[in-house]
Each structure stands twice: as C-alpha cells, then as structure tokens.
Amino acid sequence: MVGLRGIRRSQVQIAIVEAPAKGFIPEKIRSIRERFPGISFRLHVMDNADVMTALIDGEMDFGIMLSPQSSKDLMVVSFVDVALMA
C-alpha cells in the first residue's frame, strides 16, 4: 500500500460490483484499516457499466469490476482472475 504512506486521514470512494462487495473485499478493507486507521472506505455497489461511468466522471477513487475493459477514457491497471464459489 505504498500509495497510502504519509496519509493520516482520508476517505476512499470505491465503485464495486456486487459479487466482490459481498466476498473477499470487506476482509481486505479491514486489513488495510488495521494498518492505516485514518483511512476510511466507502463502497458504492453498482453494475459494471455504472462503475465505469463513475470512474470516468471522477466520482470514485477506483473501481472493482467483473471483466474490466480499457477504453479511450479508462485504462485497466490491474486485473486478477478470481474464482467465484456458489
């Protein structure tokens, strides 16, 4: 979390699709908050298209989508395959 070094207080706005919002992401956020107690997170659950729009419009700090695609207005900087369980 090099990008969080030196930050004392901040709120990170995350646009996220429903599946990871109910899965592993809350645990990851708890872990980050333990290391950086001044950082808070606000999850905004929405569909893929709305995540992309919110990011392009600058309304969110970052987004978590399913099968993200880069476009002229949005570049995917990290991509991870996650096995979804039923």
Q: Indicate the DSSP class of residue 16.
A: E
Q: Is 6 helix (H, G, I), strand (E, B) or coil?
A: coil
What distance in Å separates the CA atoms of residue 36 and residue 20, rounded to the nearest whole number? 22
The reported pLDDT for the residue numbered 24 is: 79
Split at pLDDT 50, 70, 90, the class of 83 is low
Kindly state the tokens that stand for 49.
């298209």
Please check the confidence at residue 47 and state whether its pLDDT lies above 90.
yes
Among candidate residues 61, 76, 74, 51, the one with its CA nearest the CA of residue 29: 61
**What's the whole-number mean pLDDT along residues 37-48?**
92
Cβ pair 38, 7 in contact under 8 A:
yes
Please check the confidence at residue 78 and state whether its pLDDT lies above 60.
yes
Cβ pair 21, 43 in contact under 8 A:
yes
Please give the span between the terminal C-alpha atoms of the chain, in angstroms, as a whole number.
31
What predicted TM-score, i.e. pTM, was given to this entire model?
A: 0.74
The reported pLDDT for the residue numbered 82 is: 60
The reported pLDDT for the residue numbered 55 is: 93
**Domain ranges across the chain:** 2-64
The reported pLDDT for the residue numbered 66 is: 83
Q: Which CATH architecture has domain 2-64?
A: 3-Layer(aba) Sandwich (3.40)
Higher pLDDT, 43 or 70: 43
